[in-house]
Amino acid sequence: MSYQYPLLNKVFKHFKNHQKDISNVYLVCCQHILGPQLKMFELLIDFGFEPTKIILLGKAYSTNKNVVKEIEKIGVTVIQPKFLGSSFDEEHRNNCENLLKVIPEKAEVILLDDGAELIKVFQERENILFAVEQTSSGFRKLENSQPSFPVINVARSSIKLIQESPLIARLCFERINDYLSEKVYKPAILIVGLGPIGEAIFEIFKQNNFNVVGFDTKQGHKELISFILDKEPDVIVGATGSNILSKEEIYKLISNKNIYLISVSSSDREFSVSPFRTGDEIHKDVLYKNITFVNNGFPITFKGNKYELTPIEIEKTLCLLGGAIIHSVVNNIKKGGLVNVSETLEELINQ
């Protein structure tokens, strides 16, 4: 797929004349390793980051192996740990802690994170210049324990909330609909978590005449497991970014009726899937009696493809991530804790 990323190039060009010497700064990243990310790292290197000082930690469920090779060719160090079948969050924290040991203790560091685990692990480290966090789940992790260094809060930028959320929701709907078309006739669907993504998914299903209901504690709903046993959905879509069904609650779903558990958030945390795994194939469904953990409990938006959303659809998100890094370098951001994305950057992206 050939795409030139005109908007991303424009953002980097805007800051190019203001760049500073960052050749000795480590850029430590946790990212989904997909085709579009390659372009962002190429531009970060062009901006002045030394490729051997860019350390990229992938996520087992979203990494495309061919893209790993392409990114390694431009000199970036890619660390792609093997998935062992345990809870992803547990494995990921260990991977982040191992990454901490790789970076020289006195080095100046910039963090680019997806999920805030990297930020939390590096939180006590000296010489962290700033961090960029892109997810709502990461934002919630940092909300009550803000680091002393600045964390650019991409997750709550208007571009990500208003413009990206419908794109993710559409992809979720398409993947879920394709999967269910071969499994269930006229499924009853429950969407758990009615934030920006969950609500958008709910509306798409409703517009397409599906039998769909929503659940969210912020709307006064209580006791999800009781709600499920009462409504008897065929499909439960987790969109909270948190654990919604424990192992013990999953046992309560055992019946003669097939039920499909589908995550559309980060990691495999929506449903306690790890006790039910019997292998380590990333994208294989996990079956337990009448219960199916679709895509191994991982987000259905990730299937190991080079592109999930198209480059043009994901470009503004890359502009937020790469742009937040170079804007913060140029402007020497110092204020600690969560910091909003610069209005100047958002206006530049939206022009």
| DSSP letter assigned to residue 19 | -
Q: Which residue do the tokens 């009781």 mark? A: 226
Cα separation of 258 and 270, whole Å? 19
pLDDT, residue 145, reads 77
Cα separation of 29 and 42, whole Å? 14
Task: At 260, list the tokens.
Answer: 């499909």
Contact 65, 78 (CB under 8 A): no
Contact 44, 110 (CB under 8 A): no
pLDDT category at 333 given cuts 50, 70, 90 is confident
Residues 6+ apart with CB under 8 A from 263: 237, 238, 270, 271, 294, 295, 297, 298, 299, 300
Convert the pLDDT of each residue in 153-176 to its tens digit. 999 999 999 999 999 999 999 999
Torsion-angle region of residue 270: left (phi > 0), alpha (psi -120 to 50) or beta? alpha
Sheet with 150-153, strands from edge to edge, namely 77-79, 54-57, 26-30, 109-113, 128-133, 150-153, 337-340
- For the chain, the distance separating the N- and C-terminal CA atoms, rounded to the nearest angstrom, is 25
| CA proximity to 29, closest of 239, 281, 318 | 318
3 state DSSP class of 158: helix
pLDDT, residue 50, reads 98
pLDDT over 70 (residue 108): yes
| DSSP letter assigned to residue 29 | E
- What whole-number percentage of the chain has pLDDT above 90? 87
Convert the pLDDT of each residue in 220-264 to its tens digit. 888 999 999 999 999 999 999 999 999 999 999 999 999 999 999
For the ranges 93-97, 161-165, 181-185, 280-284, the one whose mean pLDDT is highest: 93-97
Convert the pLDDT of each residue in 267-315 to its tens digit. 999 999 999 998 878 999 999 999 999 999 999 999 999 999 999 999 9
Residues facing 215 on adjacent strands: 192
Convert the pLDDT of each residue in 189-221 to its tens digit. 999 999 999 999 999 999 999 999 999 998 888
pLDDT category at 35 given cuts 50, 70, 90 is very high
Q: Which of 3-17, 110-124, 139-153 has the lowest mean pLDDT?
A: 139-153
Convert the pLDDT of each residue in 121-144 to its tens digit. 999 899 999 999 999 889 888 988
pLDDT over 70 (residue 1): no
pLDDT category at 324 given cuts 50, 70, 90 is very high
| CA proximity to 171, closest of 284, 307, 319 | 307
pLDDT, residue 168, reads 96
Mean pLDDT of the chain: 95
Region 87-106: mean pLDDT is: 94
Which helix (H) or strand (E) segment is 198 a member of?
helix 196-207
Give CA separation, 99 vs 65, 70, 84, 235, in Å.
Answer: 20, 21, 18, 38
